[in-house]
Structure 1
């Protein structure tokens, strides 16, 4: 069925204008009008201000006056703003069909809110880049860790597989020294912003004595490794290979004496660093350094602990080179001597570090009663093992195994100073008894258990050790460790301490 334009005009009683003619030509409007049986009553015929037009069925939110539907006059044509026809046709386009005639009329006569002048001025002055997108920053190529990348290309055909692996092992030792020197310079050297020590001293973030407590004698460590790097470079032949390195290491290892003081200071340095991190200025500075490119997302403690970890790694590196060296090679015997030399030195470092840690813990012990302070605590010079355990009630305890006595403590604060409060009475190693407690024989009374566990007499405990004093039946402790691995380690350390002490008495 076709709908004539004049019929619509007569039905609505609307004077025909160009705008209304364009509106009534839309197939959606015609179809909707036919579907609704033309249930509209527009009564406006003349542009009268008092006359108003309503839409009773659909009830628009506001009433439309007759002036809104009347054609513009010549008097107001120059000053009245009209909506362009393209906007009305876009509203009634097939892509977004209007379901009702009332909605179409309402959208056609409702003025669009204008943008504020401040927004217009802001957007008009905004400059937009129209050029091509910038190229990404080229990534810095990583240094290769393979010796063949630096050696002559024909060496791979002239050398055997074992010989190439030996050169790779020597190059691993060399590249590790180069990386360590760079990290040590990051800590101490005064070059641009790639430092920790000097900016903290210049900006007065930490006092000189506090810096000395944290960094120790790091300035004595850096020249040692620079010297080794230089010596290995001198050993390198024209084709890039190194024939012998054992004699150089035998001469260089005795120069590592500054490591004795440096490693002994690491325990107190870490505690001092954690204490200073509570200061917001120090924490902010260290976090900014950590996020900087030169730190490679590493904390300052990672740099401070690298010399110690490097020292412990020399034995493994030399054993790997020795394994790849023929027994008939002149460097084989020198490598064995160098390995033995560095292992002896590492044992000395461990002893001195243990003595320093032992004296520090002794200074932090707080005794509630005088009978807790037994002479064996002050006579001990080594701290064999330490850690955190729990008693049967679930309370955390710090356990310290000295060479002559076992001490249990609780963490406490006295006069705003961190201390270890001695728990009950220490147990001398001479009268120490150690027992491995099976898991099914223990029922814990911890408050963290469920209500069902409380009714059943507690939960089945796991990983418990019983330590007691053979001279006093009442003095015994039931201690719980983290897991089975820690349990085996603690049993081993405690039994070794007892056997070592009994052996010393018999001798």
Structure 2
């Protein structure tokens, strides 16, 4: 009998029961290892077969590879510890085999499939990167770790002293890749499930894969989740190993370090997992939404910042008094940019959420009362007799109110939460979401308001002293504002108010130069030294240079009369200037008894005027000459707009497109062209909506498509006027009174909000809120300064101020490149002989 077997239940050589020094313990361990190796030479073949995966599953245990004498020599505690160590080897081998199976059975066939199984090449690459993420990097880490573990096992079997050093080194290396994968995993699973749901070829591919016996009836989700469960399982094994390790063993110091690293790492990944799971819930919500047909509701789904903040079931009272059930069940979802109110339905076993009210952007969402007392709701009893079902049961529900900032009464919602705690959660979620949205919008403004004047222009208020003659009478409400530059390089502003037109330099005193009250339009033609004023049905022009000299008291006011030119003498409805080719033209509409006539004149350069003959000068109008032919429109005109080769005339029936250079020979087109409405329901619906809206103008999106701007909505047409994009439309959140196009954005103005949208998608990009907003320039396609008036912040004895702000387009802040290595200037060190 071996000498160790006579000890009976022999403990580890590191156990305190040996009562040996560390050196003696090492000698004893080495001697024990040699003895065990001598009696287990026949197990080397079994160990090789285990590492190659050739053993039967029932034989893959440490005690099957070690003779009974060896087990008796070690004692019960060390046998259990060796069994746990063997589990480290076994689980790592199986894990690496599964990672290799993912590559061989799923990844490689998908990559080599021709044609691609997942759509086109780009879509397949995107799918592979999302679903399989960085599995290849994780596999490489564990292949190296397994190789080191197997080398250690071959060296020390059957009495493996330690593997802590190998695991510690590997853990420090693979943490980063695991963090990326674990946080990304919910997205990978959702992408796989979505593809499986809609792609028949992918379904067939996975069905073929399932026939591989190596998978042992496990699906792809099982394999994808292996890295997620691997580290927690390894953590449990090492924890068990630590419990079986004697205090004098070196592992008693190393294992706690590894366990601490793994525990801290797993905790640190939890927020990332929750964020990814939240993203999956968001995608699930997106898939289930059903919107009304015909309307573009651009929620910006694919933005990386999009997320679901909070969601849950709420109730709302039915508006119908005839409804036997006065309560409507709703599913309300709060995104980081919108609030969605939906009603859940089951269609063919699939849950769908019908959007029952247009989504409310957080910029327009307002919170009402969250403190109203609870109300009672009667619910039918599902069990019991007929009378019980009529009696029902009562429970408390807790109301709260939200509403749209523009439509405060028509889009006001009182919702009911099932408990006070749920109502509080909704309040906290809404407040937090709006707070974050405010900060995000503040940091990502496309246009930033910069104050030009707040105090120079006033309207009467109750704080003004009651006296007949004021030292500084109020200018009245600001209605127009333009800026221009004189030959001396000085910048001036001309501001139209309810009492007249004031001129002055920015930041200095303004002088009332013209007594034209409430000018409808003020247009500056800088290159032609002209300012055009539409006042009281007249259209006149003055010299900019003379106007500036009068404002600075360098010329008398009477000198303006010498530069006065009357473009149209009466009944002018509207006007607009713009470019048509290389011409600068002015379009204006004149109302007659039965129709409206649209005229076009071309601005003449000052050099042409100076070279004109005396006969021409005596003819009257010098700065403008007629261009093309007059156009006749049988309806009232809202606005006129010069386009690239034609002009647009906004009327009650729509927008008329005409070519003034050949008005008699070319056809006049009305856009949008709803000729297909009789056989296309989508076009017919768009036609009805457009007829109920007021056209404001056109915006060119690209060479083939334009956006038609109405006061409540917008739609897209071809350059020939036919509706595009399946006749869909975009509804504004406001009712716009005017607009401005600053590619790639269109700005919509109402009295309380400025709405900035992307021209291509209609996506709401920014909202600016103020009181009594007015667009001060009437040039929708202008690239000059963009002035807006709003209620000011000063209210004193001089009156209530009207503030003028300039909307300045922002530019993206680019990262400053990091300075590269120092470059020696040639000859710099010559005098030092270096």
Query: What TM-score do the two structures reach when normalised by structure 2?
Result: 0.32
Aligned to 1:333: 253
- Cα 1:474–1:263 shift into 2, 3 Å: same
Higher helix share: 1
Offset of 1:362 from its aligned partner?
5.9
- Structure 1 unaligned residues grouped into runs of 5+: 1-138, 190-194, 369-377, 434-440, 480-489, 502-507
For the 8 Å contact 1:318–1:339, the answer to whether it is kept is yes
Return the alpha-carbon distance in structure 1 between the equivalents of residues 183 and 56 of structure 2: 38
Aligned to 1:310: 230
SS in 1 for 2:192: helix
Alignment size in residue pairs: 323
Aligned to 2:13: none
Q: Name which of 263, 266, 274 aligns with 1:343.
A: 263
Return the alpha-carbon distance in structure 2 between the equivalents of residues 466 and 317 of structure 1: 49
- Cα 1:288–1:173 shift into 2, 3 Å: same
Return the alpha-carbon distance in structure 2 between the equivalents of residues 224 and 389 of structure 1: 45
**Cα deviations by residue, 1:29-72 (Å, 9 ceiling, x for unpaired):** xxxxxxxxxxxxxxxxxxxxxxxxxxxxxxxxxxxxxxxxxxxx
Structure 2 residue 413 is the aligned partner of structure 1 residue 477: no
CA RMSD of aligned residues (A): 5.2
Return the alpha-carbon distance in structure 2 between the equivalents of residues 141 and 269 of structure 1: 34
For the 8 Å contact 2:330–2:342, the answer to whether it is kept is no
Return the alpha-carbon distance in structure 2 between the equivalents of residues 149 and 244 of structure 1: 20
For the 8 Å contact 2:342–2:355, the answer to whether it is kept is yes
- Cα 1:212–1:420 shift into 2, 3 Å: farther
Offset of 1:344 from its aligned partner?
0.9
Higher strand share: 2
Return the alpha-carbon distance in structure 1 between the equivalents of residues 75 and 390 of structure 2: 73
Return the alpha-carbon distance in structure 2 between the equivalents of residues 345 and 308 of structure 1: 12
For the 8 Å contact 2:314–2:417, the answer to whether it is kept is no
SS in 2 for 1:350: helix
Structure 2 residue 146 is the aligned partner of structure 1 residue 229: yes
- Cα 1:201–1:262 shift into 2, 3 Å: same
Q: Name which of 225, 238, 247 aligns with 2:165.
A: 247
Offset of 1:239 from its aligned partner?
3.5
**Cα deviations by residue, 1:13-38 (Å, 9 ceiling, x for unpaired):** xxxxxxxxxxxxxxxxxxxxxxxxxx
- Structure 2 unaligned residues grouped into runs of 5+: 1-53, 119-123, 292-302, 317-326, 347-351, 404-412, 433-834
**Cα deviations by residue, 1:412-439 (Å, 9 ceiling, x for unpaired):** 99xxxx99969999999xx999xxxxxx
Aligned to 1:455: 390
Structure 2 residue 69 is the aligned partner of structure 1 residue 198: no
Q: Name which of 39, 64, 68 aligns with 1:149.
A: 64
Structure 2 residue 191 is the aligned partner of structure 1 residue 272: yes
What does 1:2-21 correspond to in 2, within 5 Å? none
Structure 2 residue 163 is the aligned partner of structure 1 residue 262: no
Offset of 1:185 from its aligned partner?
0.9
- Cα 1:205–1:165 shift into 2, 3 Å: same
For the 8 Å contact 1:151–1:240, the answer to whether it is kept is yes
- Cα 1:446–1:196 shift into 2, 3 Å: farther
Return the alpha-carbon distance in structure 1 between the equivalents of residues 210 and 110 of structure 2: 14
- Cα 1:212–1:379 shift into 2, 3 Å: closer
What does 1:86-485 correspond to in 2, within 5 Å? 141-142=56-57, 144-189=59-104, 195-203=105-113, 204-206=116-118, 207-236=124-153, 237-256=155-174, 257-278=176-197, 279-358=199-278, 397=331, 444-445=379-380, 453-457=388-392, 476-478=416-418
- Cα 1:362–1:142 shift into 2, 3 Å: closer
For the 8 Å contact 1:146–1:171, the answer to whether it is kept is yes
Return the alpha-carbon distance in structure 2 between the equivalents of residues 379 and 141 of structure 1: 49
Return the alpha-carbon distance in structure 2 between the equivalents of residues 467 and 158 of structure 1: 72
For the 8 Å contact 1:398–1:411, the answer to whether it is kept is no
Offset of 1:291 from its aligned partner?
3.4
Query: What TM-score do the two structures reach when normalised by structure 1?
Result: 0.51
SS in 1 for 2:84: helix
For the 8 Å contact 1:246–1:335, the answer to whether it is kept is yes
- Cα 1:382–1:335 shift into 2, 3 Å: farther
For the 8 Å contact 1:388–1:398, the answer to whether it is kept is yes
For the 8 Å contact 2:190–2:280, the answer to whether it is kept is no
- Cα 1:320–1:390 shift into 2, 3 Å: farther
Return the alpha-carbon distance in structure 2 between the equivalents of residues 143 and 181 of structure 1: 20
For the 8 Å contact 1:170–1:321, the answer to whether it is kept is yes
